[in-house]
Chain A
Amino acid sequence: MKIGLEIHVQLPTRSKMFCSCPTEGNDTPNSRVCPTCLGMPGSKPVLNRKALELGLTLAKMLGCTIPERTWFSRKTYFYPDLCKHFQITQYDTPIGEKGSFKVGDKTIRITRVHLEEDPGKTKRVGDGTALVDYNRSGIPLVEIVTEPDLSSPAEARQFLSELLAAIRNTIDLPEDGDRSVRCDCNISVGKERCEVKNVTGLKNVENCLKYEAVRQLKVLKAGGKVERETRRYDEERKVTLSARKKEFEADYGYIGEPDLGTYRIAEIAASIKVRETPTAMASRIASQYGIGEKAAKQLVSTSVGLAELFEEIAGATDPHTALTWCTGAVSACWKQYDPSMRDGVVGIVREFASGDLTDTECGIRIRALITGQDPGEAAQAAGDLDALVAEAADANPSVLEDYRTNEKAANRIIGAVMKKAGGKYSSAEVVAAVKRCLDSRL
């Protein structure tokens, strides 16, 4: 099975791609529009430099080759929500080509990365009537096209999820639910492929690919031929439906966009520094600090900020100590953590490492600092929790024996404590306390 994706993500700019209308705000239909994003006669596009920079940042993140110069093209098609009846996009000079992105050990090749404008939205209101809202018209999009390197719907979802996390981290894309991503999904089980257009969100991508794979298999098993065509996904019924037969290469009659010039992007790209992706960060931390892939991934997946704090503490103490506290007490109250607390936390762990604080005191001080709780109360609560844990451990002596060979044995104690505490402590706190207790008894 071969799957290739064309992924569209809106870029987080304040104004639209070719005019100064805001990208967010008033949701009243057609309230954030101007002559340019309505395509009124005489209007002209002016490129938003921020959109170009964000696109280049992503192209670099994906390891793409970036050309010396780029320009835009007109892609002509006739939908009511495309106000000019051509979309300003990129055809012969995408801002990036030949990149790659890793999912686990597998490398997915990226064919190209290009910029384009989003069309408006058509809303069907029954009785054959449709209304068009152009608020979305002209919002900058980046399109990322993969080679058909994905081999299952689950892998496609995994890829998409990790790619999105990397994009979010790279350009500070706000968490917008997973509906912020739109995909055209190309899939072939046999020789011919079908394209399912405009599928929104990770779950729908996976479900649509699953459905389409089964459909194509059934056609082939019955001795039929899969026809090359464009399909659409019905989210309610979870099926794909034929949208139109593809005239092999749809004829969009591309020509250069003469209203915009050519842009020398090599220089701009060279001046852009790309933030490390979470995946790259995890593997770097694992090898740099010798803490193992799994632990490093756990840090990064909790938060890149936590991984950064880990690096600070590891620098001030040692990787093992840093990992213990970052996955323990710090992680337990991570939601309340603020970067301004960094030096405080590092200082507390340093005191612990130099032997000025006991294990328990260190945990209490960290919790108090991050949650703003009174140290006395925190000590009391921690003492109570530790007492509960000790009690449960005493009551199940066999757990300690099992725990030597299997970490999961701790779950029995964790379960018992959680039940007894009745929601007083977060599961992370309980887990940390139980591990601390068992580790000390080994």
Chain B
Amino acid sequence: MTSLPDLKAVNDRYRMFVSFTDAEECDGEFVFSAKDNLTTRDFPSTAGSRILEGYRPPFDATPVARMREAGGFLAGKTNMDEFGFGTFSANSAFGIPLNPYDRERSCGGSSGGAACAAAVLEDHVALGVSTGGSIVCPASFCGVYGIAPTYGRVSRYGLIDYANSLDKVGILSAKAGDLAKYLPAISGKDPKDPTSCAQPGEIGTPKKVGSVAVPSEAVQGLSKGVMESFERALESLRSMGIDVETVDMPVLRYAMPAYYVLATSEASTNLARFCGMRYGQQDGDLTLGFDDYFTSFRSKYFGDEAKRRILLGTFTRMVGYADRYYSKALRVRASVISEYKKVYSRFDAVATPTMPFVSPRFDEIAGMSALDVYKADFLTIPPNLTGMPHLSVPCGYSDGMPVGLMLTADHWREDLLLGTALEWEKGFDMRKPEVMA
């Protein structure tokens, strides 16, 4: 058994955990953490929400159980935006994780705590969850590797739902090798999640891509520092023997509205169940009638962003509006998928920067409107909407802050992403953050 670092001291400084072990020794072959929206028997599971404060699930999420079976020791639950609603992990009810490269800045989100833990702790594997970019965004901001697999590759049993048709469990780590090792460990059919049972087979042996396409739409609106790092990254890809070409993917611009319609529609039904009757917070005023009780309890315990998404999602499902929003968004998703498929007939993957800017400072975030925040995800949303596997690798630094390169491959082609990441890691000069506990 190896000894664990002083998690309390580390967490006091970076706030990556919502809850963590008080053990001093690692009772396993490796240490891992789980995002707090994955259910665990031995830690509360709150999904970053006060409405679930104190909730101790009676079962382990399948990915958590599989990590334990692979010899993993669960060190704690990582902080996140409430139910995954956010880009900066600033929408958590339990504090905000701080960027290891600059504590004035965000870790990204919504798996911010996971990326922070992967960057700060030695030999740490973090389970993250992505709905619209929640793995690659924080991986990029914290300078680590992160992969979100094909939708349905990893069982969602035990994942507290944000948007069931978009949610994917994946892995973040400072080492590309961990992604290649542990993604297969958590993948595979699970009878408890029927959507995991459609996968064609296991992830193939990692293999480097031969060619990538860069959509012209993706290199607009980038910060100067990100643009420079991205261009250097494309040079590095070429030097690895990979063809790089620019393509047009005009349909990508419709991905964002379609994503927000589908994600909020589903989220508003998923959040309907939370009312303090059966689990989590239970201190509602039981002398009220059910409707008043329900409204007052939810008003008190949901955060603002959760309320916003419930309202948006309820609106887009309403009679008379569903055709205009929900049904149309389903059609847009289909056309974005076919746009990618067209590109895959000529290229192995699509390459873009992961985020249009490096991690912003918290005072900058405070000045952003909800819409500004939503727009920050314009690069990560298309692959998420299509359910295609995508990966962020650290590809450079701008003013000391990490920049990420994102690769997206066709459904079930995680092998291409993992193979490329392994190759990339050999040639990339990674800067570790200066960690002080």
Contacts and interface: CB of A to CB of B under 8 A. Distances in A.
Interface of A: 35, 38-47, 74, 76, 78-80, 83-86, 128, 132, 249, 251, 253-256, 258-261
B159 interface: yes
Nearest to B39: A42
A258 B272 contact: no
29 contacts: A38-B278, A40-B57, A40-B58, A41-B161, A42-B39, A42-B59, A42-B159, A42-B160, A44-B156, A44-B157, A44-B192, A44-B193, A45-B194, A46-B191, A46-B192, A46-B194, A47-B194, A74-B269, A80-B290, A84-B273, A85-B269, A86-B273, A249-B319, A251-B319, A253-B319, A255-B265, A255-B269, A260-B194, A261-B198
B230 to A, nearest CB: 34
B372 interface: no
A261 B317 contact: no
Contacts of B278: 38-40, 83
Leading 7 A-B pairs by shortest Cβ distance: A253-B317, A85-B272, A258-B165, A258-B164, A42-B39, A41-B160, A42-B158
Residue of A35, A76, A84, A128 with highest tally of chain B CB at under 10 A: A35
A259 B269 contact: no
B57 A42 contact: yes
Contacts of A261: 194-195, 198
B293 to A, nearest CB: 9
B89 interface: no
Contacts of A258: 163-165, 195, 266
Contacts of A83: 273, 278
A90 B147 CA distance: 35
Interface of B: 38-39, 45, 47, 52, 55, 57-59, 61, 156-161, 163-165, 191-195, 198, 265-266, 268-269, 272-275, 277-279, 287, 289-291, 294, 314, 317-319, 322, 326
Nearest to A134: B278
Contact of B52 (A38, A41, A76): A41
Contacts of B273: 39, 41, 83-86
A33 to B, nearest CB: 10
A85 B59 CA distance: 22
Nearest to A77: B272
A260 B417 CA distance: 28
Interface SS of A by simple majority: loop
Contacts of B290: 78-80
Question: Interface centre among B161, B273, B275, by most A CB within 10 Å?
Answer: B273
Which of the listed residues A41, A78, A86 has the most CB atoms from chain B within 10 Å of its own CB?
A41
B141 to A, nearest CB: 27
Contacts of B52: 41
Query: Counting chain A CB atoms within 10 Å of each CB, which of B45, B192, B291 scores highest?
Result: B192
A84 B272 contact: yes
A39 B57 CA distance: 12
- Interface hub of B52, B158, B274 (most chain A Cβ within 10 A): B158
B349 to A, nearest CB: 26
B318 A253 contact: yes
Given A42-B157, A83-B278, 20 more contacts: A35-B58, A42-B57, A42-B159, A44-B192, A44-B194, A46-B192, A76-B268, A76-B317, A78-B291, A80-B277, A83-B273, A249-B319, A253-B269, A253-B318, A253-B319, A255-B326, A256-B165, A258-B164, A259-B193, A261-B195
Contacts of A84: 272-273
B194 A259 contact: yes
Nearest to B314: A253
B127 to A, nearest CB: 13
A403 B266 CA distance: 74
Contact of A41 (B57, B165, B193): B57
A256 B333 CA distance: 14
Contacts of A80: 277, 290
Nearest to B164: A258
A260 B55 CA distance: 26
Interface centre among B58, B159, B291 (most CB of A within 10 A): B58
A74 B267 CA distance: 12
B160 A254 contact: no
Contact of B269 (A38, A42, A47, A86): A86
Contacts of B164: 258-259
A42 B61 contact: yes
Which one of A254, A256, A258 has the greatest number of beta carbons of chain B within 10 Å?
A258
Contacts of B191: 46
Contacts of A74: 269
Nearest to A130: B290
Contact of B45 (A41, A249, A254, A256): A41
B291 to A, nearest CB: 7
B279 A41 contact: yes
A78 B57 contact: no
A251 B156 CA distance: 29
Contacts of B156: 44
A236 to B, nearest CB: 23
A45 B268 CA distance: 18
A253 B312 CA distance: 12
Contacts of A128: 287, 289
A86 B268 CA distance: 10
Contacts of B294: 78
B322 A254 contact: yes
B288 to A, nearest CB: 10
A84 B266 CA distance: 13
Nearest to B288: A128
Nearest to B40: A42
A244 to B, nearest CB: 12
Given A44-B192, A44-B193, A46-B194, A76 B59 contact: no
A74 B57 CA distance: 24
A387 to B, nearest CB: 70
Contacts of A260: 194
Contacts of A40: 57-58, 278-279
Nearest to B293: A80
A86 B164 CA distance: 14
Nearest to B59: A35
A44 B157 CA distance: 6
Nearest to A253: B317
Nearest to A18: B194
Contacts of A41: 39, 45, 47, 52, 55, 57, 160-161, 273-274, 279
A83 B279 CA distance: 11
Contacts of B59: 35, 42
* Residue of B157, B272, B291 with most partner-chain A CB within 10 A: B272
Contacts of B38: 42
Contacts of A44: 156-157, 192-194
B105 to A, nearest CB: 31
Contacts of A85: 269, 272-273, 275
B275 to A, nearest CB: 8
A417 to B, nearest CB: 64
Given A41-B55, A78-B272, A255 B318 contact: no
Contacts of B57: 35, 40-42
A251 B272 contact: no
A264 to B, nearest CB: 13
Contacts of B195: 258-259, 261
A260 B272 CA distance: 19
Given A261-B195, A261-B198, A254 B317 contact: yes
A102 B176 CA distance: 68
A256 B317 CA distance: 11
A46 B57 CA distance: 19
Contact of A76 (B159, B269, B322): B269
A74 B269 CA distance: 8
A133 B61 CA distance: 26
A74 B59 CA distance: 24
A353 B278 CA distance: 70
